[in-house]
Chain A
């Protein structure tokens, strides 16, 4: 059976292009321009999905991107919404959330268990016994869910972009089009976005039997398309609002983050369902959905329809159905006094003051039972009658699409006359137009769009036209003793679930939301929140304004995770010697953003052992270009460093270096490095790799705050560095420079030529007793590296990596900030009293340290050796215990090839800090390991 109509004015489908596809294994044909839902409905299919909890059959509801009755998967993508998924040739689609296929879904048995599964049942039923909770969790997740993710699905290539405009207009219906054109004509840049594939909103489908609105639409479309100031983005929905008018527009291929000067929200309103028994049966749909089917896709929604009315919009639906050849067998109006002059002329049976008690049928509508009612939820059973039909079009009211207004801080009020929330006070830079203001008439909407744009441009101030009355019925809700009258279609929530929640005292809108989960499904309450508010207000006996509403947080509409991920950018930094390392077999480690050789070779243990041996007995070389490197110039450069670091630098002699320790205001150790004085007004400062950016930023900030006459030059990227370490380092370096290296002993610094390159040579004993750091412009540092490599072959020079460096420094007893300290460690605990120049008036953290110094130090960082190392060493961060209580933790541990011992650093109780003390380490296997505290450096310590 096909329900395809003859060509309709303005239809979206291309009848010259048939499209074949399969759904649940069965072949279908639709047209290009169809959505999957329209193609299936046009082919006569009624059951298009299953509900979330009870697995009830579901059909077409809104035919917009607003409900989730038709959720599809194709083996790669999941949870695609059939209502807006463009039909494409060769699609192989299945409904999500079924067991054994859509028609024979075995989980449908759950419906029979519905009395046992009220809202919140899992809060009460499965938390005891605790051990069984994972079992029940698995069962529930399997039975109640949406699509199943395919982890093998290929990675998408969603693109994220940024855009800027003066005015962002969201919604390209009559109000939005009018607003965009008004703003554009005033010369500002406008972005006009709409969630639909084509612009026009109601102009394209709400015709009341006469498609005259299409002329207006064609004129506006033409004006918008040709206006140079308007960028049109159809098929993009605004998913949220963030500070400074940042609005993500989500489209088929990615996300556009728009930063707008002003935002006009003309997003319209969501048509609301009526609540009656079996109101989810396939064939019950929103009136606007039936209009969209007819005018966009030329599909007849039903053969014999009942129209349930709660407003005058319903009569426009009747006329569209009538024009499309649908036999409207009954017009049932909840209102007793509606003016039905127009449709009466069509000869349609009219039932005023009646309600639909229930829809009849098993898998699709076969009829309805109607009766008179009092308009307040009390049907008169004595007047009930059954009408045979195959569909029900429901037009009872609207809820504004105001999520972005709420998110921006707009204050909304409930307009009793309009029975709708409307803006009371908009946030700065935000404007509303059209149905969000409760304005439904075409001319009024066009006028309101213009008004909003003029206000946005500061050309007018004024008040939006008053919301129209009668567009929403105050109580489109019919109780039924047999239930199945759904308020929330995502979560299968029935009217009785709300009554239960209120009985259990969850009678605040926020509590009720969480207890019942109303509005928490993928539709985010677009069709349920308003009715839930009405129900709660009645249950509490209070007016709706007292109940209030909830805020749908961004993103108020689901966004594919792939869109959020976009392309992945992982910044990576390489030193000037990177290619050399790669060519010489380096195994790289990521250190912050840097790629650094961890060791050279593939066997870590062997490589590290050989590299350590080279440094201890011959000479080794490591790339330290990643260090933070700064020059501090000026007459007050020393003063800046004096305040910034804990030590003395003003009196530092030219040609010397000093250890520099940086604290925060709380006295916590942030970073360390060295300060080399190159001349009277120039210092050269290093910082650790991972903290380089932080130190530069903080030093620059402090310089501005303190107002000192100094200039900082950041050389971190523009200077490279290497460390030459080991007993042969001096003799090797001497081959390449005329500098007096012997004079650099004990931390000297000198500038001069090394291998023909102007360089800085610093005596630094971080990894070995005899070692030199050589720093030079990044363009030139590789020349020094290569020269050393060549000259060093005869003395056994080996390059070494960061894994080896960590072991070497541990043997030297040096800690690493961040590894051996944490976010609370102060220098008193780390044994760094000697770095604290407390005779100077100020340094960062000094005040806090003075307070700390008045208290006993409870733990101290010490070196240790394991007495009887287990086969697997304790991990870093294993606890240190004293009499069964935690007193510290292990921070570094390694087998020292030089000593043949397991050595490490750990925080221990102050009472145990003296060399010779025995400490207990709780191994990760749960056993205790005993270690002896030893003095550092370890090298030279007798085992």
Chain B
């Protein structure tokens, strides 16, 4: 099992009724359903966090930040300050089951974005590939979550 931090990856958050339209015009692929995610051609990830809220992580986030202009009605930027983690290994789901009550089996999670509690705090969790999960939490909880994940992996 390995634990990697991804705190430093660029992220771009967006919210509002025009958010999907704007992201599409920027050339991003969007999940059809709320609370799902999809990978972009450049390896970035786009997470649909609700009906009208999105998080983009990776190089695409930089491009979006450059293209962004304030003051657009129905389109609001969400400043992000996330701690990011990648758990990798055949026991990842089982280890995560110590801190998260949801069913994390790949067949169940699929491409869903799970916004839930883990170890008592709000997290966002996705299954990425065999044995690999990505997890985000507010960076103010970053040290706590990192220590907790290390504890369950040890």
* Contact (Cβ within 8 A) B144 A779: no
Task: Find chain A residues with CB under 8 A from B78 CB.
Answer: 713, 718
Q: Assuming A571-B121, A574-B143, what are 20 further A-B pairs, CB within 8 angstroms?
A: A161-B98, A162-B98, A164-B108, A569-B99, A570-B120, A571-B119, A571-B120, A571-B144, A572-B143, A573-B141, A594-B140, A625-B140, A635-B73, A713-B15, A716-B138, A717-B138, A717-B141, A718-B138, A777-B79, A778-B140
* Contact (Cβ within 8 A) B81 A718: yes
The chain A residue with its CB closest to the CB of B101 is A162
Evaluate whether A777 and B81 lie within 8 angstroms (CB atoms) in the complex, with A161-B94, A164-B105, A713-B76 already known. Answer: yes
* Contact (Cβ within 8 A) B16 A569: no
A228-253 CB contact bits vs B (8 Å, 1 = yes)?
00000000000000000000000000
A578 to B120, CA, bound (A): 21
Q: With an 8 A cutoff between CB atoms, is B40 at the interface?
A: no
A717 to B80, CA, bound (A): 8
Interchain residue pairs with CB less than 8 A apart (6): A161-B94, A567-B151, A570-B120, A713-B76, A719-B79, A778-B139
A715 to B81, CA, bound (A): 9
* Contact (Cβ within 8 A) B79 A715: yes
8 shortest interchain CB distances as A-B pairs? A717-B138, A718-B81, A164-B103, A778-B81, A718-B79, A569-B119, A573-B140, A572-B144
The chain A residue with its CB closest to the CB of B118 is A569
Cβ of B42 to closest chain A Cβ, rounded Å: 23
Task: Find chain A residues with CB under 8 A from B15 CB.
Answer: 711, 713
Evaluate whether A718 and B143 lie within 8 angstroms (CB atoms) in the complex, with A161-B94, A162-B100 already known. Answer: no
Q: With an 8 A cutoff between CB atoms, is B29 at the interface?
A: no
A332 to B123, CA, bound (A): 66
* Contact (Cβ within 8 A) A569 B148: yes
Task: Find chain B residues with CB under 8 A from A164 CB.
Answer: 103, 105, 108
Task: Find chain A residues with CB under 8 A from B120 CB.
Answer: 569-571
A814 to B129, CA, bound (A): 54
Q: With an 8 A cutoff between CB atoms, is A480 at the interface?
A: no
A679 to B71, CA, bound (A): 9
Task: Find chain B residues with CB under 8 A from A573 CB.
Answer: 138, 140-141, 144
Task: Find chain B residues with CB under 8 A from A778 CB.
Answer: 79, 81, 139-140
Q: With an 8 A cutoff between CB atoms, is B97 at the interface?
A: yes
Cβ of A806 to closest chain B Cβ, rounded Å: 22
Which residues from 41 to 85 on chain B have a C-beta closer than 8 Å to any C-beta of chain A?
Answer: 71, 73-74, 76-81
Which residues from 612 to 636 on chain A have a C-beta closer than 8 Å to any C-beta of chain B?
Answer: 625, 631, 633-635
A342 to B139, CA, bound (A): 75
With most chain B CB atoms within 10 A of its CB, the pick from A161, A257, A777, A778 is: A161
A161 to B104, CA, bound (A): 12
Evaluate whether A711 and B16 lie within 8 angstroms (CB atoms) in the complex, with A574-B143, A717-B81 already known. Answer: yes
Q: With an 8 A cutoff between CB atoms, is A160 at the interface?
A: yes
Task: Find chain A residues with CB under 8 A from B152 CB.
Answer: 567
Q: With an 8 A cutoff between CB atoms, is A529 at the interface?
A: no
Q: With an 8 A cutoff between CB atoms, is A178 at the interface?
A: no
Cβ of A750 to closest chain B Cβ, rounded Å: 16
The chain B residue with its CB closest to the CB of A573 is B140
The chain A residue with its CB closest to the CB of B120 is A571
* Contact (Cβ within 8 A) B141 A571: yes
Task: Find chain B residues with CB under 8 A from A484 CB.
Answer: none
Q: With an 8 A cutoff between CB atoms, is A538 at the interface?
A: no
Task: Find chain A residues with CB under 8 A from B142 CB.
Answer: 574
* Contact (Cβ within 8 A) B98 A779: no
The chain A residue with its CB closest to the CB of B144 is A572
The chain B residue with its CB closest to the CB of A594 is B140
Task: Find chain A residues with CB under 8 A from B143 CB.
Answer: 572, 574, 578
Which residues from 709 to 725 on chain A have a C-beta closer than 8 Å to any C-beta of chain B?
Answer: 711, 713, 715-719
* Contact (Cβ within 8 A) B139 A717: yes
The chain A residue with its CB closest to the CB of B108 is A164
With most chain A CB atoms within 10 A of its CB, the pick from B121, B144, B148 is: B144
Q: With an 8 A cutoff between CB atoms, is A729 at the interface?
A: no
Task: Find chain A residues with CB under 8 A from B71 CB.
Answer: 679
Task: Find chain A residues with CB under 8 A from B76 CB.
Answer: 631, 633, 711, 713
The chain A residue with its CB closest to the CB of B121 is A571
Cβ of A457 to closest chain B Cβ, rounded Å: 18
* Contact (Cβ within 8 A) A681 B119: no
Task: Find chain A residues with CB under 8 A from B99 CB.
Answer: 569
A50 to B153, CA, bound (A): 43
Q: With an 8 A cutoff between CB atoms, is A163 at the interface?
A: yes
Which residues from 84 to 101 on chain B have a C-beta closer than 8 Å to any C-beta of chain A?
Answer: 94, 97-101
* Contact (Cβ within 8 A) B138 A567: no
A816 to B63, CA, bound (A): 44
The chain B residue with its CB closest to the CB of A635 is B73
8 Å CB contact of B97 from A162, A578, A631, A681: A162
Task: Find chain A residues with CB under 8 A from B100 CB.
Answer: 162
Q: With an 8 A cutoff between CB atoms, is A277 at the interface?
A: no
Task: Find chain B residues with CB under 8 A from A631 CB.
Answer: 76
Q: With an 8 A cutoff between CB atoms, is A259 at the interface?
A: yes
Cβ of A472 to closest chain B Cβ, rounded Å: 40
A723 to B151, CA, bound (A): 36
A570 to B141, CA, bound (A): 11
* Contact (Cβ within 8 A) B140 A575: yes
A681 to B72, CA, bound (A): 11
8 Å CB contact of A160 from B98, B138, B140: B98
Q: With an 8 A cutoff between CB atoms, is A817 at the interface?
A: no
A574 to B144, CA, bound (A): 9
A701 to B102, CA, bound (A): 24
* Contact (Cβ within 8 A) B73 A681: yes
A127 to B82, CA, bound (A): 60
Q: With an 8 A cutoff between CB atoms, is A552 at the interface?
A: no
A575 to B148, CA, bound (A): 18
Cβ of A674 to closest chain B Cβ, rounded Å: 19
A633 to B102, CA, bound (A): 33
Which residues from 134 to 166 on chain A have a C-beta closer than 8 Å to any C-beta of chain B?
Answer: 159-164
A914 to B64, CA, bound (A): 60
Task: Find chain B residues with CB under 8 A from A162 CB.
Answer: 97-98, 100-103
A633 to B121, CA, bound (A): 27
A778 to B152, CA, bound (A): 28
Which residues from 121 to 154 on chain B have a C-beta closer than 8 Å to any C-beta of chain A?
Answer: 121, 138-144, 148, 151-152
Task: Find chain B residues with CB under 8 A from A567 CB.
Answer: 98, 151-152
A575 to B140, CA, bound (A): 6
Task: Find chain A residues with CB under 8 A from B81 CB.
Answer: 717-719, 777-779
Cβ of A805 to closest chain B Cβ, rounded Å: 19
Cβ of B135 to closest chain A Cβ, rounded Å: 15
Cβ of B43 to closest chain A Cβ, rounded Å: 23
A581-594 CB contact bits vs B (8 Å, 1 = yes)?
00000000000001
A317 to B117, CA, bound (A): 53
Task: Find chain B residues with CB under 8 A from A715 CB.
Answer: 79
A633 to B15, CA, bound (A): 10
A571 to B105, CA, bound (A): 25
A679 to B15, CA, bound (A): 18
A778 to B77, CA, bound (A): 15
Cβ of B36 to closest chain A Cβ, rounded Å: 20
Which residues from 684 to 732 on chain A have a C-beta closer than 8 Å to any C-beta of chain B?
Answer: 711, 713, 715-719
Task: Find chain A residues with CB under 8 A from B98 CB.
Answer: 159-162, 567
Task: Find chain A residues with CB under 8 A from B97 CB.
Answer: 161-163
Cβ of B56 to closest chain A Cβ, rounded Å: 15
Task: Find chain A residues with CB under 8 A from B79 CB.
Answer: 713, 715, 718-719, 777-778
Cβ of A261 to closest chain B Cβ, rounded Å: 11
Cβ of A255 to closest chain B Cβ, rounded Å: 11
Which residues from 550 to 576 on chain A have a C-beta closer than 8 Å to any C-beta of chain B?
Answer: 567, 569-576
A209-242 CB contact bits vs B (8 Å, 1 = yes)?
0000000000000000000000000000000000
A903 to B94, CA, bound (A): 56
